[in-house]
Structure formats: C-alpha cells, structure tokens
Structure 1
Amino acid sequence: MIMKFLLIAIALIGTQFTASAQYKKASLQAAGLTCAMCSNATFKALKTLPFVDKIDTDLNNTTFVLHFKPNAAVNLDQIRSKVEGAGFSVAKLTVTANFDKTKVENDAHIAFGGQTLHFLDVKPQVLQGERDITVVDKDFVSAKTFKKYKAQTQMACYETGTMAACCKPGSGTASKRVYHVTI
C-alpha cells in the first residue's frame, strides 16, 4: 500500500515538473511607462517573481522578455499583478510555450501546463514544438481587443475568467482559472 502511494506521488510530481516546463518565456508590453524610472520600477517588480530566471528589456517598445526557470510553475496572473503593482498595466502578453502534439480548435478548452487554455479565433490544428500564444483576457489587452474576442465565443468563462458551468457542465471546477488565448 505504501509502495503504491509512493509511486503515485512520484508520478504526480513528475507530471507537475513536465507541465510547468511547458512555458519557456513571455514577451510583456507594459502600458503607461513614460520614463526610465517607470521601466525600472516595473523591472524590479517582475524580477521578484519566483518563476522568472532573467529579464531582457527593450525600453523603446516598453517590452520585457521574461525567461522562465526550468521546471517552475508559471502564473500569468502574478505577472499582471506585478505590473499593476508597479503602477502600470499590461498592454500585451505573448507566451512562448512548448506543445507536444496538442490539438486545438476555436472556442475550445484544453488542459496545458497545469492550467486551462481557451483558444479563440484559431483554425483547428495540432500544435507541435515552441509556439507563441497571446493572452486575450481582460486586463491583458485593451478594452477594444477584449470586446473583439468576446464576440467570438458563446462561453461565459471569457467574461469571468473562471470555468463557467457552460464550459464543463457538472465538472465541479467553477473556480478554476481559464486563460483565453489566440495564436
């Protein structure tokens, strides 16, 4: 019995490391940065994230490239929260992820990296290798862009950012975070 428990625990830990490693880096464009001090405040805030290994900056485009630590669980909401905590907002967040024959289609959820991704405005395809996905949730894009993608889904999770009853009826995961993305 104990041996069976240990094997299950090891398998779950291995799964967590594999899932976490699927996000490689993110390109974050911040809105509202007007000076070098603004960029520095944002840089310092992002540097405190436990899953960030290093940050490259492009001050001309107010962009930060976050390189993630291997096997670290990446939390996209924490990235947004750090930018907002520095007094600014996210204008665009594009994440480079490593896919392994992942089938995606428009207006559908997939489990990925320990999270749920809801793909919008995509053609049915199988993703293989590194691909860039852009987060199109509220507070990750402009109000105009959010409205554009809202018109492309019938699921309530896009408005709330959480798994809604319409998304997975009877699943009991109403509070699970759903990230809405496009390719």
Structure 2
Amino acid sequence: MIMKTILLAIALIGAQLTASAQYKKAALQAAGLTCAMCSNATQKALKTLPFVDKIDTDLNTTTFILHFKPNVPVNLDQIKQKVEGAGFSVATLKVTADFDQVKVENDKHIVFGGQTLHFVNVKPQTLQGEKEVTVIDKDFVSAKTYKKYSTQTKMACYATGTMADCCQPGTKPAGKRVYHVTI
C-alpha cells in the first residue's frame, strides 16, 4: 500500500512538471507570400491547429504570431506542414517557452514540453522564465542558415532530425523527433 502511494505521488509530480514545461507562442515568418490572399490562406490553415489559441499578423514582415493554448501539447512539425499545405514555406520559427531552471549547453539534448530539444551554438547557461529559441532544422530556416549551423555540431541528428541517428550517451528522448534550436 505504501509503495502504491509513493508511485502515485511520483506520477503526479512528473505530470505537474511536464505541464509546467510549455511553449507560450511562436513568431512564424513565411516565405513566398506575395499578397493578402496568400497571407489569409496561411492564417486559415494555421488556425486549424488544435494547440493554437489565436493568431496575430504583421503583413509588413509576413509574420504570424501564434498564441498557444495552455496545457495543450504543441507540435512544431504540424506548424510547418500547415504553412507548406497552404503553398508556402517557413522562413523562420522563433518559439517563446517558459523555462524553469533548465540547464542547456552546446550539443546537448533536453526534454521540454514532451519533445527533445538539441541546443546548437549556445554557451552553458540556465534558462529561467520566458525565453525565445529559434528552430534551426531543415525546412525551418534557409538553406544557407541550415548549412551554417551544420558546421557547429558533430551530431548526426542535425542532418536527419531523429534521435536514432544521434550518439549522445544516456539520453532518454521523448519520442524519436529531435528539434534543433539556438538562443
């Protein structure tokens, strides 16, 4: 009976910690938008995402500010897929996340919001509060930017985006997908 109580307490604490690790919003700049109808089509596609609460737009910079619903998991690949489905591509995706004493360093993975983040070109630091990270995976940045970051990591997961291709010992990823980010 005592063992069941302890296991239940551990599970509840783990669930609470996972819920507090959360993405708040994202600034998405789309490439290829040439008119208001293009922007409107992209915005309509993004609004169908179950984790998006509301969207603000800046037509001058073709940027969409996606505000996420609290306690709903965010899937960054689905954001990219919606933009591509509307006929465009992601130029940049900057995600604001609420960190709570998260230690990061170059070429290390952390599990955050149910996803594995691989930090590239960062100094060792502890993230606290809302911080913006930029997704630097292929199809989230320009080919030139992607190539630049590829020289700053020796881990194979940057090229493939999957944990199976990563050789960091002791890492227990939340799923196979690895998102590469920088600050």
* TM-score scaled by length of structure 1: 0.90
Structure 1 pair 55–27 and aligned structure 2 pair: CA distance change class (3 A): same
- 1:111 touches 1:117 (CA, 8 Å); kept in 2? yes
Alignment of 1:76-87 (within 5 A): 76-87=76-87
Is there any run of 5+ residues in structure 1 with no aligned partner, and where? none
Match runs of 1:166-181 below 5 Å: 166-169=166-169, 176-181=176-181
Partner residue of 1:18?
Answer: 20
Distance 1:174 1:17 in 2: 14
The residue type equivalent to 1:95 in the other structure is V
- CA positional deviation for 1:58: 0.3
1:159 lines up with 2:124 in the alignment:
no
Verify the 8 A CA contact 2:30 2:62 in the aligned structure 1.
yes
Question: Take 1:121 and 1:6, find their aligned partners in 2: how far apart are those partners?
Answer: 39
Identity across aligned pairs (percent)? 74
Cα gap change, 1:85/1:119 in structure 2, threshold over 3 Å: closer, same or farther?
Answer: same
Moved over 2 A (4+): 3-19, 164-175
CA RMSD of aligned residues (A): 2.2
Q: Is the 8 A contact 2:104 2:126 kept in 1?
A: yes
**Any unmatched runs of 5+ in structure 2?**
none
Under a length normalisation based on structure 2, what TM-score does the superposition of the two structures give? 0.90
Q: Which residue of 2 aligns with 1:110?
A: 110
More divergent stretch after superposition (71-80 vs 107-116): 107-116
SS at match of 2:145: helix
- Given that 1:156 and 1:164 are in contact with CA atoms closer than 8 Å, whether structure 2 keeps it comes out as no
Q: Which position in structure 1 is the counterpart of 2:57?
A: 57
Change (3 A) 1:89 1:134: same
Residue 49 of structure 1: CA displacement?
0.5
TM-aligned CA distance change 1:172 to 1:13, over 3 Å:
closer
> Counterpart of 1:93?
93
Aligned length: 181
- Amino acid aligned to 2:140: F
**Closer, same or farther: CA 168–174 of 1 in aligned 2, 3 Å:** farther
For 1:127 and 1:9, how far apart are their aligned partners in 2? 25
Paired residues of 2:115 and 2:175 also in contact (CA < 8 A): no
SS in 1 for 2:158: helix
- The corresponding residue for 2:40 is 40
Please report how far the alpha carbon of residue 17 of structure 1 lies from its aligned counterpart in structure 2 after TM superposition: 2.4
What is the CA deviation profile of residues 3-47 of structure 1, one whole-angstrom value per residue up to 9, with x for unaligned ones?
65765664554344223xx21000000000000100000000000
Residues 16 and 105 of structure 1: is their aligned pair in 2 closer, same or farther, counting only changes over 3 Å?
closer
